[in-house]
Amino acid sequence: MKFAVIVFPGSNCDMDLYYAIKDGVNEQVELVSYKETSLDGFDGILIPGGFSYGDYLRSGAIASHAPIINEVKRLAELGKPVLGICNGFQILTEIGLLPGTLTNNRQNRFICEDVQLIVENNQTQFTSEYELNEQITVPIAHGEGRYYCDDETLQMLKDNHQIVFKYTHDVNGSIEEIAGITNKQKNVLGMMPHPERAIETILGSDDGLKLFQSMVKKQKDEVQL
């Protein structure tokens, strides 16, 4: 499986994702500039955290107009897996691949700490290696990570089982403690916590590794079919 890590001006978790793939699951991975206009040859798209374009206007707003974005949308529509972490999640909501928005934390300050998540849906290509309701430890590092959507969208997320990860408690004010969601087709995942920073026990947790293993397993299962 060959992954593309999209790099924007201000990305600072691109190398974390790169090594999560290269060393964590031993798959091919390349850093791809936001200036590129083709993602041909890639099987999965990863959008890292950081502060794309300095978070000017609002997080992810300027990045949503980068040349590479049309290709991200195209591959998502083709069913390719797209994972956006932290700022990547914000970008995915800005470009309409995921519903809702991310806004200032309830505390109105940056939060950086380990948190506990509950796996709400393990029937996706991102979570198949987890147990349902498994509790995992993954770090967060964000100032605008408070997930919000209107009541109609929230009900849609519940009805379609699009809520994949929840915090075990109120971390940042996110509605119903939502930490990660998918699109209806379940091939696009956005999450605020950083699984790429939790792939080795020496880092404090390796609970994020199963997410990337799940993505690889899905691809290999499809090849065997």
Positions marked active-site: 86, 194, 196
Produce one character per residue of 31-64: b if its CB has 16 or more CB atoms within 10 Å, e if not.
Answer: ebebeeeebeebbbbbbbbbbbbebeeebbebbb
Residues 6+ apart with CB under 8 A from 179: 115, 117, 147, 165, 166, 167, 171, 191, 192, 193
- Amino acid in the structure at residue 196: E
DSSP of 169-209 = S-SS--GGGEEEEE-TTS-EEEESS-GGG-SBGGGTB-TTH
And the tokens for 69? 């974005």
